[in-house]
Amino acid sequence: MEAGLESPVDEEGVHDSFNQLIAEQSQNGGLDALELQELQRELDEEGRDNVAYLSSPGHDYGRRQERWEAEREDDGRQTDSLAGERWSSATLKILSSMPSRTIGRSRGAIISQYYNRTMQLRRRRQSRPSIRDFSRSARPSIRGYGMEGDTTDSEGAEKREHLVNNLQNLSVSDRVRMLRGMPLSVAEKSELRYMQSWYSWLSFIHSLQLWQVALKRVSGRFGTGVLSYFLFLKTLLFFNLFLFLVTGAFLVLPQAVHPPLFSQGRPSFSGLELLTGAGYFSDSVMYYGYYSNYTLRKSCRVDTGGQNMSISNGTGMDCPSKRHSYNMPMAYFFTIGVSFFITGIILVYSMSKSFGQSFRIDKSHSILAMKVFCSWDFKVLKKSSVKLMSENICTQLKELLAEVNHKHVKNTVCQKLWRLTVHGIAWTICIASTTGCVIGIYYFSEHMHQVRQDEEASMLALPVVVSVINLLLPGLFNAAAWMEDYDSPSVRTYVAIGRNLMLKVSVLGVLCYHWLGRVAADPCWEDFVGQELYRFLIMDFIFTLLDTLFGEFLWRLFSEKGLKRRRRPVFDIARNVLDLIYGQTLAWLGVLFTPLLPAVQILKLLLLFYIKKGSVMMNCQAPRKPYRVSQMTTIFITLLCIPSFIGASVCVTYTMWSITPSSSCGPFRQLKTMFQAGKRWVEELEKDNPSLSMLARAHAYLVENPFFLFVGAGIFLIVIYFHSQVVDGQRKIISLLQEQIENEGEDKKFLITRLQSIHEQKRTPTRRLTKESVKP
Amino acid sequence: MGNKQTIFTDEQLDAYQCFFYCRLHGRYHELAPHLVPMDYTNDPECKLPLALIVNMPELKENPFRNRIVESFSEDGMGNLSFNEFVDMFSVLSEMAPRELKAIYAFKIYDFNVDNYLCKEDLEKTLNKLTKEELTPEEVELVCEKSIEEADLDGDNKLSFADFENMITRAPDFLSTFHIRI
């Protein structure tokens, strides 16, 4: 009986009991009166009640009822005293009126009632079936899920959401009628209308899906793990698209329309430009040096006589209109700053969202149960992949069983020492090789800087060396990990990621020192740094292609034809994602010096998608090790945010704040630092409108005073500490509540059996009496 | 979107919904071109049988395909109308919230439809997952341990509350319980 009303899966039963109870409560109000009436009727009758019939005001219950009856007869074992009893109607009434089954008369109840009505209206009108596969509701919310329970404020909000989604599916006239008819306040109605339009907009955005078919094929064959790499690539593409649109609209377009007044002749186009970025591209809108340091005006003639004009002098020109003016240095400074700021906010938001999805407060105790119910990847469609997945799950279950059953074998001291030594050696190898390569890059870059020749191709030497290091060293790390032989595959993955990260961070660090420390003393150094970053990006792409060719394609051929094995290479998700993050860091570092670098990155990512997809489909096989997708996705987006983006923005901020811009090219020539452009603008504003002097003062106080930064960071840390304490407290509450659930269950059993026994006692004397009375 | 003409009322057509609606309807239609109507102005009743639906490439190799289709059918026998077809792919899409997915996952794994995941349900689930590669003792052990881990109220079977509590702790649930269409 309890089965019928306990689960929200049985919506009809819940609805009926809800309606009945509200009606009853509004009529009599007394529970005791009902129970007494029932008891009286019981005493008169004498028959045994058919439990199954009484349990639910029958509706489509036939099949379930039969099954349940059959099960009860077969099931001799009574593990639970509650399950097997046949309850009297009084007990049933009490059970059905328990607070866990009734819905309070709160706002939630009113909303639920109207929810019902909208459903009935839809069924009657048979209005269009909704495709809500791209909005939060998803259609079965129509069928009434989440309808029961006492409503708190958050549940009220959920019900409102369901109502909104339901309303969306009605036609406009119906919608208006329903909204008008509801007894909610005006504020709530406007909130509902707002939520409707927000959902419509979201669903439209989602409908513009890119690469849907390709992603489906990849996930059908390889599962969610490999798919996450391609989804990450898609995310990066959108970041770069945003950067490109912003810089293109505010920097490239105005400057391209107003070419600088005095520019040297460009060398002719030869194919080498695509690799080196110099030559034909060197004095173009692609690099920092091309951008003007004065305010662009629409109708000015070439009468200004040279580039050395200060920005504040905007009035000493014979230009008729002041309206169509565009302050280039200001635009440059603010565009870069604002785009970085917005990218940072989007990154932090997606990181926190991903973290929220994958982080669970309670460290899981139910590992085996989760493995049984959550390990089947529903996206896999191909037969061979499905077979492989079954085998994997089988192996993992066996391993888990062994782990859960047997105690972990304790190592002897000798074995522990040996393992420590092996780990130590492996880490020493990795750190030593990384340090060696970094020192090598340091001296090689210095050499290349001093021996700078005019030959273009020699400029490719440093990028090639760095790319080769990035390609070969992770292989060495893999070999070291193989030697170490980790037990747990997740630990192995984390260690691999950590080592790879260490390598890339050190390499980028030494390169940044080289560019911002040494090269920054040269004339027009920003152009050179921009070209270097372009070269690094292109070389990275070429070497990724080579790695795909040799690592996957040729290896598969070799392994099939040469070694005659069926095993194909496995797609190393972590390494490929780290390569993507490295490329994106280069792009972010380069935006300040090369406003068109996001466009190059977009092209690179597009090509990379198709090449990687083709290679994976042709050459690789599905991974054999378990891969925790949501955890890894969180780690990758965290890595994208914290070392990659924060590092790039620190470099850019340092460049803008402390480094002297070159005096012969670019929008910030003649200034001490790039940051001064912002300061000058504020001073200009103050001169024009004295009432804005407070803004200037605030600007000077807030932005330039480091004390404020420390206070801000301190507050931030305190907030983080509070949140971590809250999470700790919630953990404790969860365990307490679990204990309470168990206790409540015991209480319930006790009370029900007591009630039943009292009822039995009351019945037997009466039966004896009536039997005696019948006898003559 | 296809080049077939489907007729809906003006209320049913909407700028951005049409694309997905038509696409899903296209898939539904191609399962049984002679049975599925194109004209919905008179709200015709049409249900496709289980055998046709489980032959879709998205479901064909899935060991739970029969249970999936049965869970979304109103009669419990696996005959889906177009509404139920759309429901099925909505719940299995990436936009469905976790609670909704948990409800339907519970329905899918509940083989004997008694609103509890008892030991037999778990045994059937395991056998379908591993294609019967585990020995019976191992199956028994896994079922016992799983119920022990997840059961909160001590009735030796998993009610929906137990299941939901366990599934909300599984971070991978949202990504694995997802079919792309």
Helix (H) or strand (E) holding B47: strand B47-48
Contact A767, A395 (CB under 8 A): no
A736 CB neighbours in chain B (<8 A) are none
pLDDT reported for residue A23: 53
- Determine whether the interchain pair A145/B103 forms a contact, defined as Cβ–Cβ distance below 8 Å: yes
- Determine whether the interchain pair A9/B115 forms a contact, defined as Cβ–Cβ distance below 8 Å: yes
Query: Which of A222, A225, A157, A226 is closest to A191 using CA atoms?
Result: A157
Q: Pick B180's closest partner by Cβ from A4, A129, A379.
A: A379
**Predicted confidence (pLDDT) per residue in A432-483, tens digit:** 999 999 999 999 999 988 887 667 778 889 999 999 999 999 999 999 999 8
Mean pLDDT, residues A167-183 taken together: 53
What is the value of pTM for the model shown?
A: 0.71
Average pLDDT, chain B: 83
Q: Pick A133's closest partner by Cβ from B20, B112, B154.
A: B20
The 10 Å Cβ neighbour count of residue A485 is 10
Mean pLDDT, residues A414-436 taken together: 93
B80: which strand partners? B48
pLDDT reported for residue A62: 42
Poorest-pLDDT segment among A179-188, A444-453, A588-597, B167-176: A179-188
CA angle A608, A508, A355 (to 5 degrees): 65
pLDDT reported for residue A136: 40
Query: Which of B37, B115, B86 is closest to A68 using CA atoms?
Result: B115
Q: Is A208 helix (H, G, I), strand (E, B) or coil?
A: coil
Average pLDDT, chain A: 75
Nearest residue in B to A626, CA atom:
B172
User: Does the pLDDT value for residue B30 go beyond 80?
Assistant: yes
Query: Which of A49, A62, A46 is closest to A91 using CA atoms?
Result: A49
Query: Residue A313: what are its φ and ψ, rounded to 5°?
Result: -90, 85
Query: Residue A284: what are its φ and ψ, rounded to 5°?
Result: -125, 180
Alpha helices in A662-705 (DSSP H): 675-688, 693-704
Contact A536, A463 (CB under 8 A): yes
pLDDT reported for residue A739: 87
Q: Pick A127's closest partner by Cβ from B11, B16, B92.
A: B11
Class of domain B10-92: mainly alpha
**Predicted confidence (pLDDT) per residue in A222-257, tens digit:** 888 899 999 999 999 999 999 999 999 999 888 888
Tell me the C-alpha distance between A253 and A595, whole Å: 11
- Determine whether the interchain pair B176/A224 forms a contact, defined as Cβ–Cβ distance below 8 Å: yes
> Regarding predicted confidence, which is higher, A92 or A172?
A92
CB pairs under 8 A between A and B: 238
> Regarding predicted confidence, which is higher, B11 or A339?
A339
**Predicted confidence (pLDDT) per residue in B89-143, tens digit:** 988 988 788 889 999 999 999 999 888 999 999 999 999 999 888 889 989 999 9
A423's CB contacts (< 8 A; 6+ apart) are: A484
Share of chain B above pLDDT 70, in %: 89
A106's CB contacts (< 8 A; 6+ apart) are: A150, A151, A156
Smallest CA–CA separation between A131 and chain B, in Å? 6
pLDDT reported for residue A773: 56
Q: Pick A131's closest partner by Cβ from B24, B116, B125.
A: B24
Mutate to test the interface with A, among B88, B145, B162 (most CBs of A within 10 A): B145
Q: What is the number of residues in chain A?
A: 776
Mean pLDDT, residues A281-301 taken together: 77
Q: Pick A68's closest partner by Cβ from B62, B114, B129.
A: B114
Q: Where are the domains of chain A?
A: 673-702
User: Does the pLDDT value for residue A712 go beyond 90?
Assistant: no
CATH of domain B97-180: 1.10.238.10
In the numeric block, the tokens 């038509």 are attached to B22
Residue type, B78: G
User: Does the pLDDT value for residue A675 go beyond 60?
Assistant: yes
**Predicted confidence (pLDDT) per residue in A196-230, tens digit:** 666 566 555 555 577 888 888 898 888 888 999 99
A171 CB neighbours in chain B (<8 A) are 11
User: Does the pLDDT value for residue A11 go beyond 80?
Assistant: no
Mean pLDDT, residues B62-87 taken together: 90
B173's CB contacts (< 8 A; 6+ apart) are: A373, A374, B98, B101, B102, B105, B167
> What's the sign of the alpha-carbon dihedral A378, A384, A387, A391?
negative
Q: Pick B76's closest partner by Cβ from A63, A80, A397.
A: A63
Poorest-pLDDT segment among A539-543, B20-24, B66-70, B148-152: B20-24
Tell me the C-alpha distance between A599 and A593, whole Å: 14
In the numeric block, the tokens 């009468």 are attached to A303
The pLDDT-based confidence of A358 (bands split at 50, 70, 90) is confident
Tell me the C-alpha distance between A212 and A625, whole Å: 26
Burial class (CB in 10 A: 0-12, 13-18, 19+), A33: exposed
B47: which strand partners? B81
Tell me the C-alpha distance between B93 and B23, whole Å: 14
Contact B130, A36 (CB under 8 A): no
Contact B29, B3 (CB under 8 A): no
Q: What dihedral do alpha carbons A467, A468, A469, A473 form, nearest 10°? A: 120
The pLDDT-based confidence of A73 (bands split at 50, 70, 90) is very low
pLDDT reported for residue A128: 40
Interface of B with A in 14-73 (CB under 8 A): 14-17, 19-21, 24, 43, 57-58, 60-64
- Determine whether the interchain pair A378/B62 forms a contact, defined as Cβ–Cβ distance below 8 Å: yes
Q: Which two structure tokens, joined as six digits, stand for A716?
A: 């931030």
Tell me the C-alpha distance between B56 and A481, whole Å: 43
> Regarding predicted confidence, which is higher, A58 or A503?
A503
A749's CB contacts (< 8 A; 6+ apart) are: A80, A81, A82
- Determine whether the interchain pair B170/A203 forms a contact, defined as Cβ–Cβ distance below 8 Å: no
- Determine whether the interchain pair A8/B103 forms a contact, defined as Cβ–Cβ distance below 8 Å: yes
In the numeric block, the tokens 């009113």 are attached to A110
Distances (CA, A) of A64 to A52, A61, A70, A75, A366: 10, 5, 10, 16, 30
Tell me the C-alpha distance between A267 and A456, whole Å: 12
> What's the sign of the alpha-carbon dihedral A628, A634, A638, A640?
positive
A10 CB neighbours in chain B (<8 A) are 115
A521's CB contacts (< 8 A; 6+ apart) are: none
Q: Where are the domains of chain B?
A: 10-92, 97-180
> Regarding predicted confidence, which is higher, A396 or A469?
A469
Q: Which two structure tokens, joined as six digits, stand for A186?
A: 């005006």
Mutate to test the interface with B, among A67, A131, A632, A743 (most CBs of B within 10 A): A131
- Determine whether the interchain pair A370/B169 forms a contact, defined as Cβ–Cβ distance below 8 Å: yes
> Regarding predicted confidence, which is higher, A400 or A407?
A400
**Predicted confidence (pLDDT) per residue in A599-615, tens digit:** 999 999 999 999 999 99
Smallest CA–CA separation between A290 and chain B, in Å? 44
User: Does the pLDDT value for residue A134 go beyond 50?
Assistant: no
Poorest-pLDDT segment among A177-181, A215-219, A395-399, A725-729: A177-181
Rounded to the nearest 10 degrees, the angle between the axes of helix B98-109 and helix B160-167 is 130
- Longest Cα–Cα distance of chain A, Å, equals 134
Contact B100, A145 (CB under 8 A): yes
Query: Which of B86, B137, B142, B97 is closest to A373 using CA atoms?
Result: B142
- Determine whether the interchain pair A359/B91 forms a contact, defined as Cβ–Cβ distance below 8 Å: no
Q: Is A547 helix (H, G, I), strand (E, B) or coil?
A: helix
Helix (H) or strand (E) holding A650: helix A647-658
